[in-house]
Chains A and B, each alone.
Chain A
Amino acid sequence: AQSVTQPDIHITVSEGASLELRCNYSYGATPYLFWYVQSPGQGLQLLLKYFSGDTLVQGIKGFEAEFKRSQSSFNLRKPSVHWSDAAEYFCAAYSGGGADGLTFGKGTHLIIQP
């Protein structure tokens, strides 16, 4: 079955430190890949997406993600986090070919320490 896995439920990072959130997918072919962020009490906002081409994708708010086919991964990174980055982060995938929606990981809750 198609699935998206975010291995880390919670991650705590000091303000100013670098960040990497992990995402692995299990699909027959390479899916389209997305990272969304959800601030407390809010809906989801798209950070970045990968469809094809360059495997290093730049997004909003200083985030980037790297697609690695050999590892079936699409990890999200940021070189220096800010307190405002504290939120829930979701990795999602779409296999293409129909309107069957995105498959989401269970999310990673990012905590920023002062």
Chain B
Amino acid sequence: DVKVTQSSRYLVKRTGEKVFLECVQDMDHENMFWYRQDPGLGLRLIYFSYDVKMKEKGDIPEGYSVSREKKERFSLILESASTNQTSMYLCASSLVSFVMNTEAFFGQGTRLTVV
């Protein structure tokens, strides 16, 4: 089974802190994604990566950055956390292209609270 593991289920951070959310997948997937989930807004794409050291902005990248130094690991970074970044963060991975009849596999999510 594909496994996407997010390092923390719950995090509480203070405003202004630098926050790292870690995600690891074990299926050698090329693509990795970070989504943010908020009630009534569904999932919104923050960043994605299609290869090591490659990244592309999604729909809401402001206030976030990412790092992909190894194929299996994709980190989301909040440079200076703010209260409006309190949310559920979901990591996902997939094979290189959905035309290969694949799907995105999701981690369990990290619920981040910024106080």
Report whether chain A binds chain B: yes
How many residue pairs between the two chains, A and B, have CB atoms under 8 Å in the bound complex? 70
Does chain B have a CB within 8 A of A74? no
Asked whether A44 lies within 8 Å of B56 as measured between CB atoms, the reply is: no
If over half of A's interface residues share one DSSP class (helix, strand or loop), that class is named, otherwise mixed; here it is loop
State in angstroms the CA–CA spacing of A86 and B65 once bound together.
35
State the interface size on chain B (CB cutoff 8 A): 30
Q: Within 8 Å of chain A (Cβ to Cβ): is B58?
A: yes
Contact of B30 among A96, A99, A106 (CB under 8 A): A99
From A32, A43, A99, give the contact of B106 (CB < 8 A): A43
**A100 to chain B: which residues have CB within 8 Å?**
45, 48, 56, 58
Interface status of A67 (Cβ within 8 A of chain B): no
A55 to B35 CA separation, bound complex (whole angstroms) = 29
Looking at the assembled complex, report how far the CB atom of B80 sits from the nearest CB atom of chain A, in whole angstroms: 25
Confirm or deny: A27 has a beta carbon within 8 angstroms of a beta carbon on chain B.
Answer: no
**B15-48 interface code vs A (CB 8 A; 1 in, 0 out):** 0000000000000001101010000111111001
Question: What is the minimal beta-carbon distance from B107 to any residue of chain A, in angstroms?
Answer: 5
Q: Does A25 contact B (CB under 8 A)?
A: no
Chain A residues proximal to chain B, CB less than 8 Å: 6, 9, 32, 34, 36, 41-46, 49, 51, 90, 92, 94, 96, 98-107
Q: Could you tell me which B residues sit within 8 Å of A by CB distance?
A: 4, 30-31, 33, 35, 40-45, 48-50, 56, 58, 90, 92, 96-99, 101, 103-109
Known pairs A98-B50, A100-B48; list 5 more (Cβ under 8 Å). A46-B105, A90-B43, A99-B31, A99-B96, A103-B45
